Amino acid sequence: MVPGITDTECRVKQLRYRELHVEAERQRLAATACAQNDRSGVTETLQSRVAMLMERRRHFLHRLRAADARDHAMAPGMLAVSK
């Protein structure tokens, strides 16, 4: 008999090796699913914040243009030129 690992021990180790890989893959998939859920929540939050900022910017620019037009129309010495 040659010293070392027996055929049975080898098969048991192979089985355990496969089980560990299956478990690692399961955990990796679960972690990926959690990360994707977290990212979608973050993405939705960022999208809503950007939308809110864009809406504020739109209102601000509208008020700024209206004020600029009003100031331009009220400026003394300005004559309207028409064709």
Note the pLDDT tens digit of each residue in 25-47.
Answer: 989 888 887 777 666 677 777 88
Alpha-carbon separation of residue 72 from 7, 29, 62 (angstroms): 94, 63, 15
The whole-model pTM stands at 0.41
pLDDT exceeds 90 at position 4: no
- Mean pLDDT check: name the lowest of 15-19, 40-44, 54-58: 40-44
Residues 6+ apart with CB under 8 A from 5: 13
H-only helix segments in the chain: 7-74
What's the average model confidence in pLDDT over 70-81? 66
Confidence band for 24, pLDDT divided at 50, 70 and 90: very high
pLDDT exceeds 60 at position 78: no
Domain boundaries, the chain: 1-73
